[in-house]
Amino acid sequence: MTIRTTSRPRTIRHVDRQQGFVLPAVIAAVAVLALVAAVIGGWMADSLGRAAASQDRIEADAQIHGVVQAIAWRLATGRLTADGLHGTSAQPVGQGRPTEPPGRVASGPAIAVDGRPYRSGPVTLRLMDGRGLYNLNAMDELGLGELLRQFGVPLDQRALLTQSLLDYMTPPTPQAAPGLEDEAYQRAGLPPPRHRPLLTPWELQRVLHWADTDTLWSGPAALPTVTGADQVQGVNVNTAGLTVLLTIPGMSRATAEKVLDYRSRQVISNDAALLAAMGAEGRIDPLHNFTLPANTLRLSLRAPGEPLLQLRSITLTPTGSAPTRIDYAVALPPDRGDPPPAELVELPPVLTSPTGR
C-alpha cells in the first residue's frame, strides 16, 4: 500500500508566498525610513539656516544699535553748525568765538546731515536734518499744496487732503457734530483720529483719504522720505533737497536750483550767503529760511544680515532727563541702492564715549 504525503509541498509554497510579501515590505519600510530621514534632514537644515540668519540679524542689530548710540553721543556732546555735526574740544571761558558757548567749540571734520551716505564699519547710514524735511506738524496750506503738486496730486484733491490732515491733528470744536468724523473713519476701515500732532510721517496712512492717494506711496521717493513729524520750524537751505526747498514761500525752481548749486561748492553760513546763493530774485523769509540744522536727526541704517532699512529719529533734549531721545523707530524695505560700504566715506573715528568704548 502506497502512502502519499502532500503537506510538505504546500508548506514550501506557503513559505515562498511569505518571502514574496516580505521583500516588498522591507523595500517599502526602507523607502519610508529614507523619506523620514530626508524630511528630518530638511527640517534640520532649515532650522540651522534659520538659526544662522537669526544670528546674522542679531549681529546686524547690535551693529546698528552701536552706531545709533555713537551718533546720539556726538549729538549730545558735539555741536550742530551750518556744515553739519561736529565734535567739540575744551575751550577756556571767554576765549571762544562770540558765536560759540564757553567751554565748547566745534572741532574735527563735520558729519553732513543732508542725507548723503556714510559708513561705520559694515553699517551704511545717512543722517538727515529735521529741517531738511517738510514738517507735517507745522504744515501750511501753500507749502503742503506745493508738496502734493510735486507728487502729482490734482488741485481739488490737494484741498481735500489738506483739510483731512488739519481735522485729524486739530482737537474738535464744540460746534462739531459728535461722532460724524469717527463714522467716516469707521466706514473707511481706519482708527478714529487722534486729534494730536503726527508721531511719524507714516501715520498719514491713518488719515482719511491719504492712504488712497497712490502717488504718495509708490516708488523709492515716497512722501515719508521727504517729510518729518517733529517739533521743528522752517527749512534748512543747507540740507533740504529740491522737493522741500520748493515748499518755501516764494521759492521758484530756478532759485532752488541756484541754492543747490551754491551749497555744492560752499556752505551757506548766514543770510548774506543765502542772498548770494538765491540771486537777484531771492528774498529771505526768517520764518521759513534757516541755515542751521534743527536738534532732530533722522538716521537711515543698513547692515549685512539685516534685510530691512532701519530708521531712527533722534532729538537733542538738553532740558530732559536724558540728553537725547528716540522719537520713533521704523523698519522699511530698502528704498535705494547705496554704493558698497567700502566706497563710502568713513565716519570720523571720534564717535566714541569719553571712556573710549
pLDDT, residue 18, reads 54
Q: Compute the distance between CA of residue 283 and CA of residue 12 in angstroms, rounded to an integer.
A: 112
pLDDT, residue 349, reads 62
pLDDT, residue 48, reads 60
One pLDDT digit (tens) per residue for the chain, 357 residues? 454 545 555 544 555 555 556 667 777 777 777 777 777 777 776 666 666 657 777 898 999 999 999 999 999 988 999 999 988 654 443 333 334 444 455 556 889 999 999 999 899 999 999 999 999 999 999 999 999 999 999 999 999 999 999 999 998 876 666 666 788 899 999 999 999 999 999 999 999 999 999 999 986 678 999 999 988 889 999 999 999 999 998 889 999 999 999 999 999 998 889 888 988 777 777 778 899 999 999 999 999 888 899 999 999 987 767 889 999 999 988 766 666 767 788 887 644 444 444
pLDDT, residue 175, reads 64
pLDDT, residue 351, reads 46
pLDDT, residue 250, reads 86
pLDDT, residue 283, reads 76
pLDDT, residue 316, reads 92
**Angle separating helix axes 271-278 and 253-263, nearest 10 degrees:** 120
pLDDT, residue 284, reads 75
Cβ atoms of 86 and 106 closer than 8 Å: yes
Instruction: Kindly provide the b/e burial profile for residues 29-58, where b requires at least 16 CB atoms within 10 angstroms of the residue's own CB.
Output: eeeeeeeeeeeeeeeeeeeeeeeeeeeebe
CATH 3.30.1300 describes domain 53-93+101-133+295-346: yes
**323 secondary structure, DSSP code:** S
Cβ atoms of 235 and 289 closer than 8 Å: yes
Helix, strand, coil fractions of the chain, as percent rounded to 5: 40, 20, 40
